[in-house]
A and B are shown apart, each in its own frame.
Chain A
Amino acid sequence: AQKVTQTQTSISVMEKTTVTMDCVYETQDSSYFLFWYKQTASGEIVFLIRQDSYKKENATVGHYSLNFQKPKSSIGLIITATQIEDSAVYFCAMREGNNNNAPRFGAGTKLSVKP
């Protein structure tokens, strides 16, 4: 069974710094997809970035990047040059390659970016 764990409940950083949010996962599948989503204060959930398990290169989109450590079953989200508007809850999710699995989410990490 797939499981996603985010142990950091909340993080507070100063604006323009770099922050890393942790996520570990469990799966029996050799093929899987890892996602990070952002939930704003309004409740809106949007997709940020994805890592495919078969790719060795870490994904990067804008000021978001991933630290994929497959042997540790770890997928960290790195946000560089944080902005006030990055304040939100960030969810890690995993979907196994099996056609009949839906993405499973972690509990989330609340990020506060202070001026």
Chain B
Amino acid sequence: EAGVTQSPRYAVLQEGQAVSFWCDPISGHDTLYWYQQPRDQGPQLLVYFRDEAVIDNSQLPSDRFSAVRPKGTNSTLKIQSAKQGDTATYLCASSPPWGGQNTLYFGAGTRLSVL
């Protein structure tokens, strides 16, 4: 069974540039999460979906970040006009259909550096 796939693995930007991250969850997993992990910190939730619906995007900086999952499978996280403070690893995770006890399966992450 294929795991969670993310691309690209690395991205280096100048401030003000845009970038998109792509995630392909495990087949059959209806729930998909995007976490931001700054260096030496724990993963911090940005947004998560159940199928194509956004369940919680309250931590997503809405002025510059956006996330979609149009067909309930793959997802894209986009940063418009990146800032140095966005430097972090962006993690995608998926989990099987509800319940809450289901564990998360993480992708390898995209390491973003904003210069």
Contacts and interface: CB of A to CB of B under 8 A. Distances in A.
Given A33-B101, A99-B100, A105 B56 contact: no
Given A33-B101, A50-B101, A106-B42, A45 B91 contact: yes
A98 B56 CA distance: 12
Interface residues of B, number: 24
A33 B108 contact: no
Contact of A44 (B33, B41, B100, B106): B106
A100 B104 contact: no
B45 A52 contact: no
Interface in A49-77: 50, 52
Interface in B17-36: 33, 35
A33 B100 contact: yes
Interface stretch (A13-21, A80-88, A89-97): A89-97
The binding surface of chain B is classed by DSSP as strand
A78 interface: no
Interface residues of A, number: 30
Contacts of A96: 100
A30 to B, nearest CB: 13
Contacts of A97: 100
B56 A52 contact: no
23 contacts: A6-B42, A33-B100, A35-B103, A43-B89, A43-B109, A43-B111, A44-B106, A44-B108, A47-B103, A47-B105, A50-B103, A91-B43, A95-B101, A100-B55, A100-B56, A102-B33, A102-B45, A103-B45, A105-B35, A105-B43, A107-B42, A108-B41, A108-B42
Interface of B: 33, 35, 40-45, 48, 55-56, 89, 91, 93, 98, 100-101, 103-106, 108-109, 111
